[in-house]
Amino acid sequence: MVNDILFIETNKRGCVINTIDRCYECSEKINDLETKLEEYGFFKCHKSFLINLNCVEHLDKEFAYFVKGKKAYISVRKYTETKKRYIAAKKKVCIYVKKKRRLCRFF
């Protein structure tokens, strides 16, 4: 499932998909996966890393950190945009509908 993916990194032959418990190799290019997974909250924070912003526990100027000590590099050029998208993914988005009923959703 897409929500189980923490991050994807490139290797010589394609990509490695990192989940909480396992790593899977795939032959697709990271740019192709970026296009397919963008709508699910993934962001390319480095030329070799595509992260699931919904699974990031915290980040600093060098890494995005995940459960079990896993981490992905963040490029210097993409740090500001990564941080902006991380904050947006963590905010609670509330939508007001008819009758002033409140529906809340997390990204």
Is the pLDDT at 105 greater than 80? The verdict is no
Q: What is the mean pLDDT of residues 84-88?
A: 92
pLDDT tens sequence across 59-77? 999 999 999 999 999 999 9
From the list 33, 32, 29, 38, the residue with the least C-alpha distance to 10 is 29
Q: Which residues of 37-70 are buried (b: 16+ CB within 10 A; e: fewer)?
A: beeebbbbbbeebbbbbbbbeebeeebbebeeeb
5-11 and 49-52 beta bridge pairing: antiparallel
Cβ atoms of 14 and 39 within 8 Å: the answer is: no
Q: What per-residue confidence (pLDDT) applies to 1?
A: 82
Q: How confident is the prediction for the chain on average, in pLDDT?
A: 86
